[in-house]
Chain A
């Protein structure tokens, strides 16, 4: 038997009009962690769908050789049977069911025609221990955050006796500690003989966990690197991913003194209570942003970063709020997003698919959605002007699409994010809140968004950037607030900040 658990041989996949994969080959050794990296749209997800049987045998070219045998999966069930399990970025748990019901969902333990619940619960507890999760098996999944849910997904995969675990950007939505936990778990599983393919955009994480790395670009394998043969660094991977050298990923701005600038955004003793969760989510937050400043907000998942934006920006979640808020020197308490928008506040949400964009409609419609009234006379839209506006932002933010009539759902993550940004820029805000602006998008698009941010502050806009990527916060901000458990745990100038310092603050509360 070869020491490869899996060989992908010359895989090709064509969609109508697009060659998504063009002869991709790579090998995964038994018991290794193999990372797949590449820009968005490089074909990684398509590749994983082929490997897991979503695209059945015959719809692609080339061979999947698993344990020395060519596989001809007809469906996901076939790949699961031989021990391949895939965990998607969008988790596939059923929120209303309990943890144990979820773990054995689809392959229930049966006694005759009945489900053997006792056995199910007992086995679930074992699996939860295995993934080092200290939760009760009969708790409901919806009560947990993404981090825990991810681990439950892995427990579910383990329950199927997995030999090859595929993780599609497992840490994209996780905070740093949760990510660390997950990576530790993957290492542990490796010790137990589970091979793993991991797709990730986070190169640091890739470098820390991978035994080998395959870079894919434009549907082709660019290179496979063995981490144990020689030392590989981030810049080498990046240049392979983008096909060019990227100097500094965070473009520099002129350092500036904000001492004498006006305060445009100010919160004092800001408290919020979330009635749907029945608990307080923000405690005495004091925060200010000056004209032309980029202020970073760092913190763990659930530290109250997104809740802060939601509470200020029209409070659609109906929090109970106490405290003061000033925008452009005036005391405000926005009851609807519309009111906030009219006063010059904009909020680009962290979840562009969930609550950011209308994926069914085209680029044009999305871009003008916020400020549509500017294009309308007595409620009738000037559609010629609308085309001009959309074309302007298509160029301005460099959205790569054949036309403004392209449906947004068909765009890559990076381009979707640019549409989302355009939509808010057209509302001409003077304070822009960016919540995870580069999550799940490729390096090239990230750089473009950073450059755009710099341009905007130069024009006098103020930006609040919320991000889980500490380097991004440090690289882009002038000043950083660190949140922990709904409180401001500390404030630091970006020039003095390091990852270690921020993590220390974020975990200090």
Chain B
């Protein structure tokens, strides 16, 4: 039963991809569309990864949407003032961290509920975004490096095999090899220590399924422009957060606080510090999300970021983060984000009206959480 819950999201994603591929007569699975889908998904995925930690420690951050919008606009303004793109990005991420520390202090030190603190933040940064874009309206961005983050692809250096880009294939193959290596190593390790492992056929099936999935996507992308930079960034963020949550003391403390705050405090965990870190990381990722979004649109708009926070929260819940805190995985959140993005993309291709898109997304969100709860109950 444990497996069903673990892999439920993966299976759901594959099913959704298959259904849309058939329903759109293949246009869903074309290279250009998958590439587009990944780009669309990136700025929500980055945010959702941060949101996962926030929800694990039983808080919420509603401000991130407009923080992303505002910081995206700020980056655009900086570049308009001839600041190098990289410096602008670094600066807005730093500002993001400062904003997050502010949120964290108010929540952990002063004791204001996170809902209230970040609701206020949402209003404040909405205003700040309007101020930033007041004079000019939409701020165009011409910096090519910056734009490539949201709209560009890893270079191919002209190397192709038939119609496929070799660099993209190489990245895909490296990912698969790393995945297989770490899975086998992990399993061996668990066996050495007499820990529970999935049965060999299930284990092999899981490896095969994930490898095939990655390779299919890679091949599809290799036939178009290659892997988008935004996807590489999401990948990097995912790896870092996966490492933090699974391998570090900090990660353990985050889950500990989520599981039982009082027990964590009495076990010597500095709850205030960890909470501030989680909010700071959240806002830093919001800044990154704002950069990716602005880069994708080649501009900072007056409404950028509206509703992102809700999409990020939805992705985390679809990915199985528990609303009661303490439980959740960043990898599953990414799958959650992909599921939601695929739904939007697929329904658009099918010509589903926007009104129905919302209704269906809402239904899927509730269904995913119901599934999650049921699976958890059965396990008990």
Query: Given A337-B268, A355-B263, are A360 and B252 also a contact pair (CB < 8 Å)?
Result: no
Asked if B260 contacts A357 (CB within 8 A), the reply is yes
B95 CB within 8 Å of chain A:
no
Give the Cβ gap from B256 to chain A, nearest Cβ, in Å: 6
Asked if B266 contacts A349 (CB within 8 A), the reply is yes
Asked if B189 contacts A358 (CB within 8 A), the reply is no
Please indicate the chain B residues that have their CB under 8 angstroms from the CB of A336 in the complex: 268, 270
Asked if A341 contacts B249 (CB within 8 A), the reply is no
Please indicate the chain A residues that have their CB under 8 angstroms from the CB of B193 in the complex: 384, 387-388, 391
A361 CB within 8 Å of chain B:
yes
Give the Cβ gap from A316 to chain B, nearest Cβ, in Å: 6
Asked if B255 contacts A361 (CB within 8 A), the reply is yes
Set A369, A381, A404: member contacting B264, Cβ < 8 A: A369
Asked if A358 contacts B326 (CB within 8 A), the reply is yes
Contacts of A336-383 to chain B: CB distance below 8 A? 336-338, 340-341, 347, 349, 354-361, 365, 369-370, 372-373, 376, 379-381, 383
Please indicate the chain A residues that have their CB under 8 angstroms from the CB of B326 in the complex: 358, 360-361
Please indicate the chain A residues that have their CB under 8 angstroms from the CB of B267 in the complex: 337, 341, 369-370, 423
Asked if A357 contacts B263 (CB within 8 A), the reply is yes
Give the Cβ gap from A366 to chain B, nearest Cβ, in Å: 9
B265 CB within 8 Å of chain A:
yes
Q: How large is the interface on A (under 10, 10 to 19, 20 to 34, 35 or more residues)?
A: 35 or more
Asked if A361 contacts B248 (CB within 8 A), the reply is no
Asked if A387 contacts B195 (CB within 8 A), the reply is yes
Mostly helix, strand, loop or mixed at chain B's interface?
helix
B262 CB within 8 Å of chain A:
yes
Please indicate the chain B residues that have their CB under 8 angstroms from the CB of A338 in the complex: 268-270
Give the Cβ gap from A380 to chain B, nearest Cβ, in Å: 5
A403 CB within 8 Å of chain B:
yes
Query: Given A403-B194, A405-B195, are A361 and B247 also a contact pair (CB < 8 Å)?
Result: no
Distance, CA A365 to CA B264, complexed state (A): 12
Asked if B252 contacts A369 (CB within 8 A), the reply is yes
Report 16 cross-chain contacts, Cβ distance below 8 Å, ordered by A residue. Answer: A316-B265, A336-B270, A338-B270, A341-B268, A355-B265, A357-B260, A358-B256, A358-B326, A359-B260, A365-B252, A365-B256, A369-B264, A370-B268, A381-B248, A384-B193, A387-B193
A interface residues (Cβ-Cβ under 8 A, vs B): 16, 313-314, 316, 336-338, 340-341, 347, 349, 354-361, 365, 369-370, 372-373, 376, 379-381, 383-384, 387-388, 391, 403-405, 410, 423
What 14 additional pairs, Cβ within 8 angstroms, besides A349-B266, A360-B260, A365-B252? A314-B266, A337-B265, A337-B266, A355-B266, A358-B255, A358-B260, A358-B263, A358-B264, A359-B260, A360-B255, A369-B256, A369-B267, A372-B249, A380-B249
Chain A to chain B: the 3 pairs with minimum beta-carbon distance, closest first: A358-B259, A355-B262, A338-B268
